[in-house]
Chains A and B, each alone.
Chain A
């Protein structure tokens, strides 16, 4: 066995990481996990904390489910998966409350909603149930980073134009603002939730213009 064993970083496995970053991105192509992606991207910091939570939960859940995939009875697999994911999410929630309380207050119910985040259930159903832990681990990393980069892009644009700061550090001096006799005003629209939809739509537009195979029918 060991001589024929496929290396963890073979070409086929690297594809598992690379694909979700672009051509099968969980958000813009597979349409999974949109709920949280849109609601918590007002600040870059929130988007980052959320991505890291999803990264942790997705990797752990994918590996654990993949390890016990032959033991799970088919009929109750959804409940088994939900219990595993819920346990991991409780861990994340408690850690966030202990170390970054302010961020955890702002994320409010959306940390709990990682449980029903479609990316996680989708990857468990589509990949972890039928593959070994090694590839499941790589698949989780790929998809989590595919989710992360879109969140960070949307969070960056919203924070720069909406509050004139990056990671909470203001780069537009207060004296520039119209209220203080200057010429500049923050774009309040960026702080409203619908703008996130337009930004993700722009990402989709760019992505599909580059790779025309991805274009759908109307």
Chain B
């Protein structure tokens, strides 16, 4: 149990998607003008990450990785005669999974939870091409989590971290309207600087050993 908590805390604060890796910056900068829409997009990112990362985890461990096809026949196993390493296909498989799951989720949510669709609807299609979703899958592959539970915990933590970052930025941007920013820095420039300062603040968490 503690393992899961560790992974979640680590992926929210220490390895924050935005402040440590800059993933999903495009929508982070574009949709952070008001707290309400930012929070909606953040919730959609959490949701899609939690759905896609476990699916990609299964795909990685039962189809793509070296010797992962062992369940078909022992000779495909890691010491078999026909060992296959399909990991070069992982980009195309992951992005196909993400794009189709997003489409599917959109249809299911529209049918069964119209209220949720109203809140997330416009953001869902955007998310298929959000770097943080594919980034989540690729980090999952790189870090080799031991079980599907750990991969899900990582996805949940990263999503929360992304949500936290965009809501915090939106709150600051709502207030910054009242300050006198140098004209050429207004809008995009000052947002970059704020994000940088927030990133430096988040580095305080780097010392935490989990």
Contact = CB atoms under 8 A, between A and B. Distances in A.
A93 B95 CA distance: 15
A112 B125 CA distance: 20
Interface stretch (B17-25, B40-48, B54-62, B153-161): B17-25
A33 B196 CA distance: 17
Contacts of B71: none
B7 interface: no
B24 A192 contact: no
A118 interface: yes
Interface residues of B, number: 51
Interface-centre pick from B25, B100, B176, B183 (highest chain A CB count, 10 A): B25
B187 to A, nearest CB: 3
A35 B184 contact: no
A31 B30 contact: yes
A206 B61 CA distance: 49
Interface in B161-210: 176-177, 181-190, 192-193, 195-197, 199-200, 203
Majority SS of interface residues in chain B? helix
A115 B134 contact: yes
A201 interface: yes
Majority SS of interface residues in chain A? helix
Contact of B139 (A90, A109, A192): A109
Interface stretch (A60-68, A80-88, A129-137): A80-88
B92 A201 contact: no
Contacts of B188: 28, 31, 204, 216
Contact of A218 (B90, B92, B128, B186): B186
Interface of B: 19-26, 29-30, 88-92, 94-96, 99-100, 125, 128-131, 133-135, 138-139, 142, 176-177, 181-190, 192-193, 195-197, 199-200, 203
Given A83-B95, A215-B183, 6 more contacts: A32-B26, A86-B91, A89-B91, A112-B138, A193-B22, A216-B186
Interface of A: 28, 31-36, 38-39, 78-79, 82-83, 86-87, 89-90, 93-94, 108-109, 112-113, 115-118, 121, 192-198, 200-201, 204-209, 212, 215-218
Q: Which 9 pairs of residues, A with B, have the shortest CB-CB distance?
A: A216-B187, A208-B184, A197-B196, A194-B199, A201-B192, A109-B138, A194-B196, A34-B25, A86-B92
30 contacts: A31-B29, A31-B188, A32-B26, A35-B23, A35-B135, A36-B22, A39-B21, A79-B99, A82-B99, A82-B128, A109-B142, A112-B134, A112-B138, A113-B23, A116-B130, A121-B129, A194-B203, A195-B196, A196-B196, A197-B196, A198-B193, A200-B192, A204-B189, A205-B184, A205-B185, A205-B189, A207-B184, A208-B189, A216-B186, A218-B187
